[in-house]
Amino acid sequence: MNVKITGTGCYIPSEVETNEDFLQHEFLNDDGSPFKQNTNIIIKKFKSITGIDERRYAEKHHNSSDLGFLAAEKAIKDAQIDPEELDYIIFAQNFGDVKHNSVQSDAVPSLATRVKHNLRIKNPKCVAYDVIFGCPGWVEGMIQAYAFIKAGIAKKCLIIGSETLSRVVDIHDRDSMIYSDGAGATVIETTNEDCGIIAHETATHSYDEAHYLFFGTSNNLKSTDDTRYIKMYGRKIYEFALTHVPAAMKACLDKSDYAIDDLKKIFIHQANEKMDEAIVERFYDLYDKEVPQDIMPMTIHNLGNSSVATIPTLFDMVKKGELENQEIKKGDIIMFASVGAGMNINAIVYKY
């Protein structure tokens, strides 16, 4: 018995925020001091490092659970299943539902429960819960659902990754330009076909690295507001990722018994273009191989970093032929890999 993805879906918000939209922002250092460069220079440097030209923000009437529901509907339709057949709904998220113009996070009931409610599923044995695992949350949700199915306690599972990061960013922090909103979803189920999840790997590095991403106050020290925002130590994360992620990817691939030359695509978390390119390059260096052309599809240029949503969104787009010069074929060996708050790392080797 194997476990395969039978349906995918994503929801990309319609509101586009370009780099030029940040020109009026007053970016400040962590200590509240202004940058020496003007905002235009800051944005140009940001683009050269991250690759981001624009990002998507959720419509005002949508919360993260709404985006997740819209992606889930598409995945269920694509899988051609009755929602009542689902045994688990696993919703990867990190900040709950944050309404437009609000700072209040709402995660009770769980976002997974809200999706189940909106799908109008009556079956009480369909268990709905959230996973908070940083950006690798969707991959980890996939690994958990796979374990449930292999253990014989589930046959069909829905895994969602959704965030509205635009609502938890500090407008005085230049890192705010990285983050975006969106959702992706997958249905996985048992199959007798020679395909599906082959191997997986997960690690949490928290001895020194636990607070590389955290909730902190605004860089505008004049503000009397005690609102907390998503913050990160970018340089530490970059160095951590380049040190540990390639090794985790190698461990996963070696466990699968496939060779590096068998890999056709790597669907990596869309965090930062230069960082992702460096991770994949170091991964191939571990095998003394050159990185093949078009091995790593990218959506960060126009979708930004939507955390848990980046990989399922990217996979859905490539699967459906919506990304130029990118495709996957039956029998292809692919990899999902992510890194994020925790610091957490995970990877999956999958036969399409």
Predicted TM-score (pTM) of this structure:
0.95
Which pLDDT value is given to residue 104? Answer: 87
CATH number of 198-351: 3.40.47.10
Tell me, yes or no, if the two domains 2-194 and 198-351 fold the same way: yes
Query: 37 falls in which pLDDT band (50, 70, 90)?
Result: confident
At the topology level, CATH places domain 2-194 in Peroxisomal Thiolase; Chain A, domain 1 (3.40.47)
Which pLDDT value is given to residue 226? Answer: 81
Mean pLDDT of the 246-275 span: 97
Dump pLDDT digits (tens) for 187-215. Answer: 999 999 999 999 999 999 999 999 999 99
CA distance 171 to 12: 22
223, pLDDT greater than 80 = no
The residue ranges of every structural domain in the chain are: 2-194, 198-351
Dump pLDDT digits (tens) for 309-318. Answer: 999 999 999 9
Residue pair 334/252 in contact (Cβ under 8 Å)? The answer is no
Query: 36 falls in which pLDDT band (50, 70, 90)?
Result: confident
127-145 as b/e: b if 16+ CB within 10 A: bbebbbbbbbbbbbbbbbb
Going 215 to 272 to 239 to 311, the CA torsion angle's sign is positive
Expressed in angstroms, the distance from the first to the final Cα of the chain is: 15
Mean pLDDT of the 328-342 span: 97
User: What distance lies between CA 259 and its chain's CA centroid?
Assistant: 26
